[in-house]
Structure 1
Amino acid sequence: MRHPSGGPLPDIGRPGIALLLCGINPGTTSGTQGCHFAGPSNRFWRALADAGLTSRRLRPSEQDLLPAFGIGLTNLCPRTTTRASEVSADELRGGAARLRRLAADWRPRVVAVLGVTAFRVAFERPDARVGPQNDPPGWWVLHNPSGLNAHATPAEHAQSLRTAGRAAGLIVDA
């Protein structure tokens, strides 16, 4: 599916998924291709596989396979931008309300927002840190996998996804 206008990406998932991953907003490549995390420098798909949440490294065009792994995808803001910093605080707060509704409908065990700065603004929690959140229970903040975010290594991305996946029941330790 191509979105030459950079229109909104579809939510990927269904009721009963275990882990709902929420990006900030689609980048220009994602908007053009109609696929989440499609930018060539985005580390999402590699980290997902390295975390053991998929059986192999999926391509962005294979995003519709994620519910079979118990995973869903959405974004706080549907608007395509070059940088996440172009998304306004009002857009992020509106996205938080929409994410709460989607989580209530799909009822995942874990909802993880990929980006601590966006989470702080969207949910009005200026002191939030990466990891599980106390309120609401089952909500997490993970690293932003954008190639523009140099704050976490690929291994740290994979580890944070693995930890959230374990909390969602998708990874069972032997």
Structure 2
Amino acid sequence: MGFSRSALDSFRGQSLPDLLGDQTRLLFVGINPGLRAVAVQAHFGGGSNRFYPALYRAGIIDRRVDASAGFRPEDLAHLRERGLGITSLVAGASARADELTAAQLVAGAEALSSRVEGIAPAVVAVLGITAYRTAFGRHRATIGPQPDPLGGPPRLGGPEPERLEQTRGPR
């Protein structure tokens, strides 16, 4: 599915609905949707995006998902059945994440904290350490678990941190 530059630009500032299921245990937080992702209405819908191949190689999903032309219903169902959710730090689409201002990232962090509290996943994975540092004012944050969980403590019955550490694939 090809889009001209002007067609993609028409999606600037538009958003995607969160991908959430009834039992979201692992919530991935992208920085903001790309123009192509909004055009096809699929998180990480860029044709060359490595997100879904990484989930497959890590064993988080058990089949390949190609969202470059939008989600297939069976792929959406599979992601939800696996307890996976996807949202964005900043809702509005842009061609590149570096187009976002610090103020947009900070406002996105405030809104995200409220959303996470309502979703109550066991784990929140923010995808983008530089954006995370700016958004949450944690300029020395490193990759990995953070000292303060988003949205409060994880809900009971979720996977324990030790178990998640044990199941993490090679680095």
TM-score (normalizing by structure 1): 0.74
Which residue of 1 is the match for residue 76 of structure 2?
64
Shift of 1:34: 1.0
Per-residue CA deviations over 1:10-64 (Å, capped at 9, x if unaligned) read 1011453110000001111102111110112211010011110111111221463
- Residue of structure 2 aligned with 1:32, choices 32, 39, 64: 39
Bigger shift: residues 100-109 or 63-72:
63-72
Aligned: 1:101 with 2:108: no
CA distance in 2, matches of 1:47, 1:124: 28
CA distance in 1, matches of 2:115, 2:44: 20
Which residue of 2 is the match for residue 125 of structure 1?
138
Which residue of 2 is the match for residue 12 of structure 1?
19
Which residue of 2 is the match for residue 160 of structure 1?
none
RMSD over equivalenced CA pairs, Å: 2.7
Amino acid aligned to 2:136 = F
Q: For the pair shown, which has the larger CA radius of gyration, 1 or 2?
A: 2
CA distance in 2, matches of 1:67, 1:168: 22
Shift of 1:137: 7.2
Question: Where does structure 2 lack aligned partners over 5 or more consecutive residues?
Answer: 1-6, 153-160
Question: Where does structure 1 lack aligned partners over 5 or more consecutive residues?
Answer: 140-163
Which residue of 2 is the match for residue 78 of structure 1?
91
CA distance in 2, matches of 1:79, 1:72: 18
Aligned residues: 145
Amino acid aligned to 1:16 = Q
Per-residue CA deviations over 1:89-112 (Å, capped at 9, x if unaligned) read 111111111111111111100011
Q: Give the secondary structure class of the aligned counterpart of 2:61.
A: coil
Aligned: 1:21 with 2:18: no
CA distance in 1, matches of 2:45, 2:117: 27
CA distance in 2, matches of 1:103, 1:138: 5
TM-score (normalizing by structure 2): 0.75
Amino acid aligned to 2:120 = R
Aligned: 1:167 with 2:169: no
Which residue of 1 is the match for residue 128 of structure 2?
115
Shift of 1:136: 2.1
Q: Give the secondary structure class of the aligned counterpart of 1:131.
A: coil
Among the aligned pairs, what percent are the same residue? 40
Which residue of 1 is the match for residue 52 of structure 2?
45
Amino acid aligned to 1:167 = L
Amino acid aligned to 1:40 = G
